[in-house]
Structure 1
């Protein structure tokens, strides 16, 4: 078994001016093989989406510094729910890890920020970001309504202001299969599009609506 300790949270803290937070679980174990030494840097899937959402702010050949500048300019923070985990296999899947330390500092970090929206990159399954944050870190109970709506308004008493937590479409390419079967995609203009990547274009449109 492998122990994975998070490599990017401490060096990329949530800032007081941040208004939105993208929240995941934890990066794969071997960061030495990453394309970029940063969140989601193993495949850059989310940053490729950001490049299409913000083409004027992120160049075709971007660096960590380019991503950090974009996030800072847009008041977007990125963090994860797990500080340390045990890997039950060589897989990077959430279901194949066991959290050892959750990122409990998120509570104070969010309180000190201007964050009003939190977007989780995975949902309600075992060790998914939404579940770990809502249940594991905040100590609240997930309900059927929350899972159905894929969103919840947190009580004002937790952070001193209203914050909406919702599910962001997973940036991974593998998630495009389930997205292609969704009602939203099938009822959108992208479904009958002549594009060579209609599902990806639909995902970019969802990110644009949430982040621009």
Structure 2
């Protein structure tokens, strides 16, 4: 739900709705940081964020953020948990830091042939890559789930939000998607669990919320 939709639902001003929205997303982000992925994991690189009027186009846009998308799989190849993380770039150093925060040592990582993903071996993970060579997502069934999740993420963001500073607030928006996805098997308790998460989060002022934790 966007801040505008929340404003209409609660009958409050937009600034109030925006603050509530971001505090809830921050609570989701705090919860998601507790978990790491283990087992068999599909990983992919992506750029998210819309282009700004008068700005650069494509991946050079000032609002485009590089992210690493990862999903752990069950034994029968179904998605279990997802992590969506902004990174400074697709370098060995950045991916090594990402792996340390998001992966459990000993897991098995499957990716395309982007060289930086080899850095996952630095924390004790095994790495298997596939050369994509320009193939479309539907032509790479071995990456079915990570491609599906990225497609759902882009649809969710474009369908729910008109515009926002993705570069500044990427951590929260990605965490909100991940939080809901990772609790999809127990939707009935989703709101109650979010209230508990929000109540146990350290209080934050408007200033600290607006400053955001820019990690990219």
Greater helix content: 2
- Length-normalised TM-score, structure 1: 0.29
The structure that has the greater radius of gyration is 2
| Higher relative contact order structure (alpha carbons within 8 Å, sequence separation ≥ 6) | 2
- Length-normalised TM-score, structure 2: 0.29
